[in-house]
Structure 1
Amino acid sequence: MQPSAKQFVLTHIVEKVSGLTAESIQASQSVKHFNIPWKILYRHSERLFTIALCCCKPRTDRIWTAATQITFKMISVNGNYESKTRRYTFANDSQAGWCGYSTFEWAMFLKEFAVDDKIILEVHVTIESMTGIERPEKLKHFDRADRKFTDVVLEVGEENFHVSKVVLAEQSTHFKRRLMDHSRQAKQSVINLEGVSSEDFQVFLELVYMENTLTDSNIEDVLKLVEKYEAKNPGRLCEQFLIMDSKHSLKTKMQIAEQYQFQKLKAHCLSNMKSRADVRAVMGTDSSELDAPLMRVLLEKLLQLNQ
């Protein structure tokens, strides 16, 4: 299976821009993507405003690297924006703090982007290569057969997953049809699954077996399998995680809510959009990234806040 591009976006709203103290470093909250914690750092000096992408992975004796392409965007509530792109390789021996940064003129920043005393920072990241980044520990092992609790082997790539047909069928309409409903494969003891990453399938199975496995790093990949395998209850657990525990931005959550028709998550996001800046942060700079129904909802919210 061809791996999907390792991409993510961090969004942060800077409030009370006029009160930013010179040289004081501010930060967004840390969010994990691809098993690495990241956050946005920013500060202003006498003439410059600096935005940085900080890799918060601790330094260790183990050698690791993450080569990235980073696009920094400053966005005003009115939708104007300025962007700069650069490349930076994070590593266990790189300096913490101002890693992967770009600077903007402070006077321009105040004049053209600080509307309602707020500004939106958006950092688009493409991880071009990674080495030495450890995979998350498995919460449940499916590589051993247990005749009491397993009766089928699912082949995913080079890994075998020993599971129960009944458990899978209870949680997944797809596997119920495939394993239980008098299908040809129902009698097979080994079934090959194509087009699936073994790492993602491991997390999906952990969720099916009710392990506390969801993280901001894996939620979007798990949701693809939830949809693929028509797993309604695991889908509800994903929605609950996004509402209660996720540190993803409102933009990411709203896009997920629209894509998977998570109405509770959608209502949660809308209720947390309390300013024009909140809505603009979800809209971003490229309207083509948003489906027409989602854009309509956001414009209605913007009109409501303008009243």
Structure 2
Amino acid sequence: MSQEGGVPVKRRRENGPDEQPELRELIEKNISATQEIKTLVNNQEKNLLERIEKLEDQRENTEWLIREVVKIGAQINAENKKSLDKKFVLNETFCDILTMKEGDYRYGKFYEHFGQKWNLVVRRQDNYLGVFLNMNKLGNTEEGSAETFHSLELSVGHKFREAIKQEFKFDGSHMYGRLKFSTWDEMQRCWLVDGKLSVKAEVHIKKLSGAMKPKLIDFDASAKFSDYILEVGGEKFHVLKQLLAMRSPYFEALFYGNFTESTKDATELKNVDPTDFQNFLEVLYGEYKAIDDFTLEGIMLLNDVYDAKTVGERCQEFLMEKSQLSLCKKLKLVSKYGNEELKDKLISEIKTLEEYKSIVADGVEDFSHDVTKALLKKSLTLQ
């Protein structure tokens, strides 16, 4: 090693300073590559996040859709269940309460529901007000029985006091309620308005039976050509699947659709009165004599769900040609189960203003929008 002025001098690289640009270029390329990798990673991460967000959105939309479907399904089931329930409401205003003496009764007007007549009754006994729900036979039908759940209310305007909720079997004695609903003084002080007392009953019929009429068709184990059992209210009905499916979309879906019932040989139909179902099946099988004023409403109630065309047609024919039900009751049935043609024909039978007023007073709360609108038009022709 050479020395200059006694100080060793480092050996100069062969290329000297010419190597520096190559080093810088390499470093710059590495930095550039690193940035590209980072950019690529960032883009991939961004794309991944976007995909995750889309999946989350889809999941939220799917969950929302599922919730909506479940909600709609629950609503449909609730509506179907309600449509099979035999329910009605009675409202009565007693105008001469203050003239009642000890032991006196006052009877409200009778209303026809499910083949029987129903009304509200009040009584004064031991200075108490008694309130009762009463059932009477309709027309020429024999004595019937009914298992009901009902409530009785006294009301003042939009305020009411709910009285009792009872479950009774109307058999033998056909009047049930509470003998001591309130004291007579309390009734005058709290529930009497301008000398009038308003009473309301909400009735849910669990089971209704009329006279023990002979069955037109036996659907027991001896039934021929049966291949399925429908359990209704503790009773077994042996039926032919193909016949029911041919005449009712409901049973076609039940027996041959994508339901577990289609793989079984028996199933239960809930919330159905077995007496109504016996009558419905008889008509479905062609025994149209099963329809009368007592059975009509129950059959129409079931057919509103089961949608058997022939059953609906036979019920409508009976309603228009043979039924002895009041015109008001017929309009109520048409409001719920009928069609435009029946509505127009029934309303055309109203001939006097007095008859019109009576119908509107008795049924306005039970009429459909279309029937109410048609009645308003009818009133213009009776002025």
TM-score using structure 2 length: 0.47
Q: How far does the alpha carbon of each residue in 1:38-87 deviate from its partner, in whole angstroms, 9 at most, with x for none?
A: 9xxxxxxxxxxxxxx986889x9x9x99xxxxxxxxxxxxxxxxxxxxxx
1:206 aligns with 2:282: yes
Moved more, 281-290 or 194-203: 281-290
Partner residue in 2 for 1:157: 233
Partner residue in 2 for 1:239: 316
Aligned 1:116-131 pairs, distance under 5 A: none
Partner residue in 1 for 2:294: 217
TM-score using structure 1 length: 0.58
Flag the 1:238–1:155 CA change in 2: closer, same or farther, 3 A: same
Query: Any gaps of 5 or more consecutive residues in structure 2?
Result: 1-80, 92-110, 119-134, 147-169, 174-199
Moved more, 134-143 or 192-201: 134-143
- The answer to whether the 8 Å contact 1:35/1:217 transfers is yes
- 2:250 is aligned, of 174, 182, 200, to 174
Query: Following the alignment from structure 1 to structure 2, what is the Cα–Cα distance between the partners of residues 273 and 136?
Result: 34
- 1:278 is aligned, of 349, 352, 355, to 355
From the two aligned structures, give the one with the greater helix fraction.
2
Flag the 1:270–1:156 CA change in 2: closer, same or farther, 3 A: same
> Shift in Å at residue 149 of structure 1?
0.9
Flag the 1:248–1:56 CA change in 2: closer, same or farther, 3 A: closer
- Superposed CA RMSD in Å reads 4.5
1:302 aligns with 2:373: no
> Shift in Å at residue 228 of structure 1?
1.2
Flag the 1:232–1:126 CA change in 2: closer, same or farther, 3 A: same
> Shift in Å at residue 292 of structure 1?
3.0
Partner residue in 2 for 1:228: 305
Query: Following the alignment from structure 2 to structure 1, what is the Cα–Cα distance between the partners of residues 326 and 357?
Result: 12
Q: Return the letter of the residue paired with 2:275.
A: E
Query: Following the alignment from structure 1 to structure 2, what is the Cα–Cα distance between the partners of residues 229 and 163?
Result: 15
- 2:329 is aligned, of 235, 252, 255, to 252
1:135 aligns with 2:208: no
> Shift in Å at residue 258 of structure 1?
2.1
Query: Any gaps of 5 or more consecutive residues in structure 1?
Result: 10-30, 39-52, 66-88, 93-123
- The answer to whether the 8 Å contact 1:239/1:262 transfers is no
- 2:369 is aligned, of 268, 271, 292, to 292
- The answer to whether the 8 Å contact 1:33/1:217 transfers is no
> Shift in Å at residue 144 of structure 1?
1.9
Partner residue in 2 for 1:190: 266
Query: Following the alignment from structure 1 to structure 2, what is the Cα–Cα distance between the partners of residues 271 and 291?
Result: 17
- The answer to whether the 8 Å contact 1:169/1:175 transfers is yes
Query: Following the alignment from structure 1 to structure 2, what is the Cα–Cα distance between the partners of residues 57 and 272?
Result: 21
Query: Following the alignment from structure 1 to structure 2, what is the Cα–Cα distance between the partners of residues 206 and 194?
Result: 19
- Could you tell me the percent identity over the aligned residues? 27
Flag the 1:90–1:276 CA change in 2: closer, same or farther, 3 A: farther
Query: Following the alignment from structure 1 to structure 2, what is the Cα–Cα distance between the partners of residues 220 and 205?
Result: 14
> Shift in Å at residue 8 of structure 1?
8.5
- The answer to whether the 8 Å contact 1:150/1:164 transfers is yes
Q: How many residues end up aligned between the 2 structures?
A: 223
Query: Following the alignment from structure 1 to structure 2, what is the Cα–Cα distance between the partners of residues 230 and 275?
Result: 36
Q: How far does the alpha carbon of each residue in 1:158-184 deviate from its partner, in whole angstroms, 9 at most, with x for none?
A: 100000011101111100111123543
Query: Following the alignment from structure 2 to structure 1, what is the Cα–Cα distance between the partners of residues 313 and 203?
Result: 30
- The answer to whether the 8 Å contact 1:174/1:229 transfers is yes
Moved more, 248-257 or 279-288: 279-288
> Shift in Å at residue 281 of structure 1?
2.5
Flag the 1:125–1:56 CA change in 2: closer, same or farther, 3 A: farther
Query: Following the alignment from structure 1 to structure 2, what is the Cα–Cα distance between the partners of residues 132 and 233?
Result: 24
Q: Return the letter of the residue paired with 1:293.
A: D
Larger radius of gyration: 2
- The answer to whether the 8 Å contact 1:219/1:238 transfers is yes
Flag the 1:274–1:125 CA change in 2: closer, same or farther, 3 A: farther
Query: Following the alignment from structure 2 to structure 1, what is the Cα–Cα distance between the partners of residues 90 and 315?
Result: 19
Greater length-normalized contact order (CA 8 Å, ≥ 6 residues apart): 1
Q: How far does the alpha carbon of each residue in 1:216-239 deviate from its partner, in whole angstroms, 9 at most, with x for none?
A: 112111111001112222111111
Q: Return the letter of the residue paired with 1:270.
A: I
Flag the 1:276–1:206 CA change in 2: closer, same or farther, 3 A: same
- The answer to whether the 8 Å contact 1:253/1:265 transfers is no
